[in-house]
Structure 1
Amino acid sequence: TSAVLLIAILTAGLASFQAISRFNDQSNRDYLISAGKLIGQQLTDAIPAGTAVDRALEVFSHDTKTLRATIVDIRGNVIFDNEADSSQMDNHLFRAEIALAIKGEGPGFAIRRSNTLGAEMIYVAQLIPELDLVVRTSMPVYSSKGPLRDMLLTIGLVLVLALAVLSVISALSTRWITRPLQDLSKAAKSISAGDYTVRLHQLRQDDNEAAALGEAFNSMADRLQQTVMDLEERNERLAVVFENMSDPLLVVNAAGAVTLLNSRAKAVFGRDLDPEKVVYPLLLITHSEAIDTLVSQVIDGNQTVRRELSLQTVTGPAVFMVIASLVRTSDGPGAMLTLHDITEMKRLQKLRSDFVANVTHELKTPLTSIRGFVETLRAGAAQKPDVADRFLAFIDIEAERLHKLIQDILILSEIEDMHQDSHSQTFDLQTLVDAVAVLLDEAASNARISIVVEENADPLSVNANPDRIKQILINLVDNAIKYNQPGGKVYIQTARRDDGMVAITVRDTGVGIEPEHQARIFERFYRVDKSRSRDLGGTGLGLSIVKHIAQLYGGYAKVESEPGQGATFQVILKI
């Protein structure tokens, strides 16, 4: 309403201004025509030009209007001008108003800037046919527009006053009418800022529609608050599950950029990045084009795909079972990648496969020999006592080898399945070492090897299963005897270290071990010299048994050796 009133006042004021402006222009033109006619009449009465102009100025000049008069002949020469020296003025024949008057088309009229006075002027020229003269009267534009400026100023003041009054009235009425809407807007902004507890408790105006709107808003706020709480609770649960997954999980968009990854993925691939701040291609994380191809296959085929892939991690290459599933987000389709590390499973599968192959091979060799000797005996060798006795001795040796192999396999299997030895007891380790030295003394003497036990000043009391520790000593000393040189020695030493661990050291003066074999010497069925090992009756499981017994007691086994300078085996045990 205020705007309409303001527009109406403005329109009326402008219309009045235009009408008065037109009236003022016509009044000024009539004023100049009358002054020109008076000058022309006096010139016709043979009154000099200066006198005629002065008399006209006495009649028509006043404070608000300044009259200028110029008399020009029909050739355009200026005869007289009351404001300038006529002899210095240009020819006026082609001035618009004068040209119109000479043509006899009535008073000529023009508005332009005067080169002589340097001001905008209104010109009216009239022809005096009796004298062949043109009388031109003029006045400055600014003096003719003075009343209009005053009127325009008055209209402006009225408009400003009306605008002020209407603004006050409009503000008061708007504030009174829209107060409920302001409260509603304020509450809506609070909700948009995250404050879902805000409500419209009391409407400031007794209005049924406003009250109904407030009730609807409160109901909407209640539902929104409950929905947000449910979503936040669900997101918290998902975040806990997501961040505590044991498997790396990544979400990739159709462009191959990672949009989400959990803490496990960051740790596995060594990339502590925030996908919301930086765009990071999947290829730079996994260094695998195959997984990029897998993502494209999932998105294009709209299906879940499982595939074993070898990926580069911070600890080196690892084998993962990658499960890629299609996901849809606001940015379009993508793929969720779950990476289950099966490196250890693959390693165990290979160990199992190698173990079965080695056992099969180790069992096959003596069995083949036994079958060969039996067939030879059946073929007639049994009728020759000396041959039969020799073959039976070979059969006995191979049977003993089978027995020892099976026994070592059973021991190794038993140790691997144990997490703690339930048959531990306290005993003197030095006494056990002496017993093992006596047990193997005959074998050492036959090989011309000396066993040297380095005695401790005090008894070395330990808590363990004596049979397990005895197995370690027998296996290490037996190997030291077998792989020694005639006249060589085997040294046995035991000691408790500063960290409380017990060290059992067996050193020989034998052929030594090449560096490339030392890393694998404790593997099942691994032999440095396979032919010599079988000739000496070894099963290939002795050092593996030593390693697993050491691990059972929270320790480890290691070897140090140089070819031709013997070998030193050390077992560290927490006993």
Structure 2
Amino acid sequence: MKFLKGLRLFNSVQWKMVLIYLSLLLIAIQLIGVYFFKELEDFYVGDLEDRLQRQADLLISPGGMAKELAKPQPNSDKRRKRLDQLLQNLYILDKGSGQMVQLTDQDGIVLSATTENKSKIGQKNPRVSSVLRGVKPNVTQFRRGPNNQRLILYTKAITENEQVIGAIYIEAPMTSTYVTIRTINNKLLQISLFSLVGTVILGIILARTITNPVKEITEQASEMAQGDFDRQVAVKSNDEIGQLAAAFNHLAQHLREALSQNEEEKGKLESVLTNMSDGVIATDDRGCVIVVNRRAVNILGRPIAKGDPLTQALPLSEPLSFPLVEERQTYLELNREDEDDPTVVKITFTPIRRSEETVGLLAVLQDVTEENKLDRQRKDFVANVSHELRTPLTTIKSYLEALDEGGAMEDPELAKRFLRVTRQESERMTRLIHDLLQLSRLDAKKVRFNRQPLMVETILSDAVERFTIPAEQKNIDITFRSHDLLPKIYGDRDQLDQVLDNLISNAVKYTPEGRSITVSARRRSDGFVVVAVSDRGIGIPQKDLEMIFERFYRVDKARSRNMGGTGLGLAIAKEIVEAHGGTITMDSRYGWGTTVRFTLPPCEPEVIR
């Protein structure tokens, strides 16, 4: 675990910089040390070699050994002593240095030597052979001596009149030289170690000055990734790091503003999509849903999830090909509740393009059920009006032709009957036109209501009184009941009489003999007066109740037409009641009877004023 933590530590930029800086420093110190050690060794070895060469030159200088070797010396002992004296003088100068000096003749025989090498006198020294042969004037060699001691060997030829007459051989230990080199190297190593420690500390400080702002920027980037754009990176200098921190703060501010604006635009878009009266479904280029608003779900009546295929969300009769090239329109019928009254949806498919490339599809759903219904009602209205007008006109034309050409005028009784029928059809057509004109004025808000405070009991009792005789003719019992002390209402007496006449007239028409009709009124908790007309008639099927207040709508068209109805009475009653600020509803059970209720607002002083 510690090893892994150490590895993770070196993943830090700071420690990477320190490690790289330290490695470069170690490499530089190593290269400098190797070069310095080599130069130092070359310097001391060269200095020792120069010193040996000067000593050799001193020995063979004019007046020295060369002169002695060149003299004919019949007495060899005397010459040897002279040569020994010269060597001893040199030895005294370098006493304690451990050097060994030998003087050889032209055959390599040792003639004289320092005190430590007296035993070598008279022996041949093979190391001087190369200079005696004249190959080189002097030779420097290195070798290992006893106890692995390094030695430097210097040999120089002694010449007289350009003739080699002998050689000087010097053998010097290099121990003191390498001791001096090692001492200097140790000092240099100590200095390097101290410098390295100081450099590491400075490197860490330098790396922290670089990496700390970077760490702050990294933390800020992490916070920004989580949506926090309020933090600021401290700008501690005006260098590149400080400029980077300032630029990052500037970037964070712009990102915050851009995201805020983006969120605002997104909120507006979501608000628009949510509150649109049309459904919206957007897909990608493969036809998978990426955006859907609530209205689309409500129109289709099924949940739609993002990622669902559009063909699964919309049960189209003709499949779509993706990507869509051009705009298309289609209609979709959804039979969710009532199979006889389906929901009609108009769907407009528009391709979404970006840089001339189709990247998706936008489907706009419009619920056109009401428009279709209104169009159908308009067509039905025109057809019904045409039929209602054509029927009495056809009857009138037929009877008039019979009077004019068929000889009916010859028979007074038949002529009277034909004229009576003609008059009845004319009155029927007049009522129809009157009702149509009244509905047209009500729709255009052109009807002027003569409103005034009215007593509800008076209006209802008078209406019941008007239908007492027609009810008695069918043996129907019609009564008026008042459950509460009713407040006055504020309305148009003639218009309200027309509403009551239409409702009570329908009750009398569709109530069989021997049954009853009840007109009642009560006061609701909010002050409104509720008027109800109930009968024990044939009733209305449940499927027809929603359409009963539509114009020209009849449950039994043939029977209604035979009874003289225009099919506009309930529609007129609804318009009048709503113009008074009330509502009208109908409850019915087929075979058991029907109850029509409408409400009227009370006569309040502020309303009168």
TM over 0.5: yes
Provide, for residues 158-188 of structure 1, a one-character-per-residue CA deviation record: whole Å limited to 9, x for no partner.
Answer: x999997764443234345667766766666
The Cα of 1:401 is off from its aligned counterpart by 0.6
The Cα of 1:324 is off from its aligned counterpart by 2.2
| Greater Cα radius of gyration, structure 1 or 2 | 2
Q: 2:568 aligns with which of 541, 549, 555?
A: 541
Kindly provide the amino acid, as one letter, of the partner of residue 492 in structure 1.
V
Give distance in 1, aligned partners of 2:219 and 2:559. Answer: 93
Kindly provide the amino acid, as one letter, of the partner of residue 588 in structure 2.
E
Match of 2:345 in 1: 320
- Unaligned 5+ segments in structure 2 are 1-20, 34-191, 602-609
Give distance in 2, aligned partners of 1:515 and 1:225. Answer: 61
Match of 1:237 in 2: 268
Taking structure 1 as the reference length, what is the TM-score of the superposition?
0.60
Match of 2:391 in 1: 365
Kindly report which structure 2 residues correspond to 1:138-287, keeping only aligned pairs within 5 A, or say none: 167-176=200-209, 202-204=235-237, 207=239, 227-269=258-300, 275=306, 279-283=307-311, 286-287=313-314
Q: 2:466 aligns with which of 396, 415, 439?
A: 439
The count of corresponding residues between Structure 1 and Structure 2 is 420
Give distance in 2, aligned partners of 1:379 and 1:222. Answer: 99
Match of 1:560 in 2: 588
SS at match of 1:493: strand
- Unaligned 5+ segments in structure 1 are 14-158
Give distance in 1, aligned partners of 2:348 and 2:515. Answer: 60
Q: 2:372 aligns with which of 346, 353, 378?
A: 346
Give distance in 2, aligned partners of 1:251 and 1:407. Answer: 52
Give distance in 1, aligned partners of 2:451 and 2:232. Answer: 73
Kindly provide the amino acid, as one letter, of the partner of residue 24 in structure 2.
V
Kindly provide the amino acid, as one letter, of the partner of residue 321 in structure 1.
K
- 2:327 aligned with 1:304: yes
Residues 416, 177 of structure 1: CA spacing in aligned structure 2 closer, same or farther, 3 A cutoff?
A: closer
SS at match of 2:586: strand
SS at match of 2:276: coil
The Cα of 1:367 is off from its aligned counterpart by 0.9
Kindly report which structure 2 residues correspond to 1:443-454, keeping only aligned pairs within 5 A, or say none: 443-454=470-481
Residues 11, 422 of structure 1: CA spacing in aligned structure 2 closer, same or farther, 3 A cutoff?
A: farther
SS at match of 1:289: coil
Give distance in 2, aligned partners of 1:435 and 1:183. Answer: 92
- 2:433 aligned with 1:406: yes
Preserved contact between residue 526 and residue 540 of structure 1 (Cα < 8 Å): yes
The Cα of 1:573 is off from its aligned counterpart by 0.7
The Cα of 1:314 is off from its aligned counterpart by 9.5
SS at match of 1:204: coil
Residues 475, 173 of structure 1: CA spacing in aligned structure 2 closer, same or farther, 3 A cutoff?
A: closer
Give distance in 1, aligned partners of 2:513 and 2:345. Answer: 52
Kindly report which structure 2 residues correspond to 1:70-81, keeping only aligned pairs within 5 A, or say none: none
The Cα of 1:366 is off from its aligned counterpart by 0.6
Match of 2:23 in 1: 3
The Cα of 1:197 is off from its aligned counterpart by 6.3
Give distance in 1, aligned partners of 2:242 and 2:486. Answer: 96
SS at match of 1:360: helix
Provide, for residues 253-284 of structure 1, a one-character-per-residue CA deviation record: whole Å limited to 9, x for no partner.
Answer: 23433212234335545667774xxx434455
Give distance in 1, aligned partners of 2:373 and 2:271. Answer: 31
Give distance in 2, aligned partners of 1:163 and 1:259. Answer: 63
Taking structure 2 as the reference length, what is the TM-score of the superposition?
0.57
Residues 334, 497 of structure 1: CA spacing in aligned structure 2 closer, same or farther, 3 A cutoff?
A: same
Q: 1:506 aligns with which of 533, 539, 543?
A: 533
Segment drifting more, 214-223 vs 457-466: 214-223
The Cα of 1:437 is off from its aligned counterpart by 2.9
